[in-house]
Structure 1
Amino acid sequence: MAEKFEAGDVVLLKSGGPKMTVDSYDQDDEKYRCEWFVDGKVQHQLFRGSSLEKYVSVGW
């Protein structure tokens, strides 16, 4: 599977949730390791690329 995201990309779950930063891609599991903060504490989890979308900031 080709990687859709790169380390440092900001992504969202398609179902909603906080902005997350892609940390790495696990070739064996074909999942992205993403990190985000909750109450100042770092959280992380593996997600399939099909459940993520790139965050696009709407700037002025």
Structure 2
Amino acid sequence: MSEQFKIGEVVALKSGSPRMTITELNEKLAKCLWMSENQIYYNVFPLIALEKDYDPPIVGEIMG
């Protein structure tokens, strides 16, 4: 059974990636955003490639 995701949830790629926030969602795809070096990035990923990120952010990681 596949994971259930919600808009606003923090996720990462199963293969490894920065923490990303889901901004749009349909039955097969999620549009996610993340920040790196003071830049905002967006991309669309298949749900099967994502997993929920349960780890809290590390202090200092939020601001880059």
User: TM-score when scaled to structure 1?
Assistant: 0.80
How large is the Cα RMSD of the aligned pairs? 1.9
Give percent identity, aligned residues only: 33
In the alignment of these two chains, the number of paired residues is 55
Query: Any residues of structure 2 matched to 1:1-60 within 5 Å, and which?
Result: 4-26=4-26, 30-57=28-55
**Where does structure 1 lack aligned partners over 5 or more consecutive residues?**
none
Q: Secondary structure at the match of 2:45?
A: strand
Runs ≥4 in structure 1, deviation > 4 angstroms?
Answer: none
Deviation at 1:26, TM superposition (A): 3.7
Indicate the structure with greater strand content: 1
**Where does structure 2 lack aligned partners over 5 or more consecutive residues?**
57-64
User: TM-score when scaled to structure 2?
Assistant: 0.75
